[in-house]
Amino acid sequence: MNTFERRALVVSPTAAAQAAAAELADTFDWVRAEDDPDVIVALGGDGFMLQTLHTMLERRRPMVPVFGMNLGTVGFLMNEWRRHDLGGRIARAKPFVVTPLSMTATGIDGRVHQRPAINEVSLLRETRQTANLEITVNDRVVMPELACDGVLVATPAGSTAYNLSAQGPILPLGSGMIALTPISPFRPRRWRGAILPDKARVSIKVLDAAKRPVSTVADQFEVRDVASVDICMDRARELTLLFDPEYALDDRITMEQFIA
């Protein structure tokens, strides 16, 4: 069992999460998330969980495990909200390591932006003009021109999010794969994407970027008017999520394949 002496509580600003935090106020002697806790308890939805994880990456504290409880809508990255026996639940929780993507986006103005992405990196057309993209994998051009609304690269943890909505594959945790999924491809129309080893380096060049502008989004961070985007896994910044054994993330991802 896990023993966590220093526990921090981070809370979404929504009314439901704030009310739950009030119920937990006297449960432990909470410390601040900035004060080197052994575990972080996050109250909110999936968006708040992503925000919490990105804050940890920015503060270079990715090794602190996070136990989330859902006070949002979907809560795929969260456990069920229950006040009872929270200490025991955290102690019995099953850890899952999530490896983020690293995005390096170069704008048409030459500026370079680097951001992590826990779910996916997506490229999207900015106007009514389709995006024309050249895709390179491990320095080899695999698609000289993809005309589409966009394309995305998703991690296993993010494969059930935007990637699934774009008809991409669900990737089990530990599969060692990433998904490369087109968004409304026009040419070649029948291309449905690719499953790549997670050691692959994906580079996407925007063709005719001035006429057909494209933005890129790493989870919630957007860069507009990009010329190229380079994407790879960042194993130096792995994150740990904690789940109730009966609510484990790997099983939930697997079962998503059987939901009609």
DSSP string, 11-49: E-SSHHHHHHHHHHTTTS--B-TTS--SEEEEEE-HHHH
Q: Is the pLDDT of residue 58 over 90?
A: no
| Residue 14 CA from chain centroid, whole number | 21
Q: Is the pLDDT of residue 122 over 90?
A: yes
pLDDT tens for 62-86 read 589 999 999 998 889 999 999 999 9
Same domain (yes/no): 150, 211:
yes
Mean pLDDT of 135-162: 97
Q: How far apart are the first and last CA of the chain?
A: 36
Q: What is the pLDDT at residue 61?
A: 63
Strand 140-154 with 131-137, pairing: antiparallel
Give yes or no: 46 in active site: yes
Q: What is the pLDDT at residue 238?
A: 92
Same domain (yes/no): 75, 117:
no
* 107 neighbors 223 (Cβ within 8 angstroms): yes
d(CA 249, CA 43): 17
User: Does 108 reside within a domain?
Assistant: yes
Same domain (yes/no): 84, 160:
no
* 112 neighbors 106 (Cβ within 8 angstroms): yes
Same domain (yes/no): 220, 191:
yes
d(CA 158, CA 139): 25
Show the tokens assigned to 234: 């960042």
58 assigned binding-site residue: no
Same domain (yes/no): 73, 113:
no
Give the number of residues written for the chain: 260
Same domain (yes/no): 106, 228:
yes
Same domain (yes/no): 38, 80:
yes
**Could you tell me the CATH number of the domain that includes residue 217?**
2.60.200.30
Same domain (yes/no): 90, 135:
no
User: Does 191 reside within a domain?
Assistant: yes
Catalytic residue among 29, 38, 46, 251: 46
Q: Is the pLDDT of residue 145 over 70?
A: yes
Strand 39-44 with 7-11, pairing: parallel
Same domain (yes/no): 34, 92:
yes
251 assigned binding-site residue: no
Same domain (yes/no): 61, 117:
no
d(CA 240, CA 242): 7
User: Does 139 reside within a domain?
Assistant: yes
Domain hosting residue 162, numbered range: 102-234
152 assigned binding-site residue: no
Count of the separate structural domains present in the chain: 2
25 assigned binding-site residue: no
149 assigned binding-site residue: yes
**Could you tell me the CATH number of the domain that includes residue 88?**
3.40.50.10330
* Burial zone of 245 (CB within 10 Å; 0-12 exposed, 13-18 middle, 19+ buried): exposed
Q: Report in angstroms the alpha-carbon separations of 179 from 15, 158, 176, 196, 247.
A: 36, 9, 11, 6, 24
Same domain (yes/no): 71, 91:
yes
Q: What is the pLDDT at residue 62?
A: 59
Same domain (yes/no): 205, 131:
yes
Determine how many CB atoms are found less than 10 A away from the CB of residue 113. 16
pLDDT tens for 197-230 read 999 999 999 999 999 999 999 998 999 999 999 9
Number of H helices, E strands in the chain: 5, 16
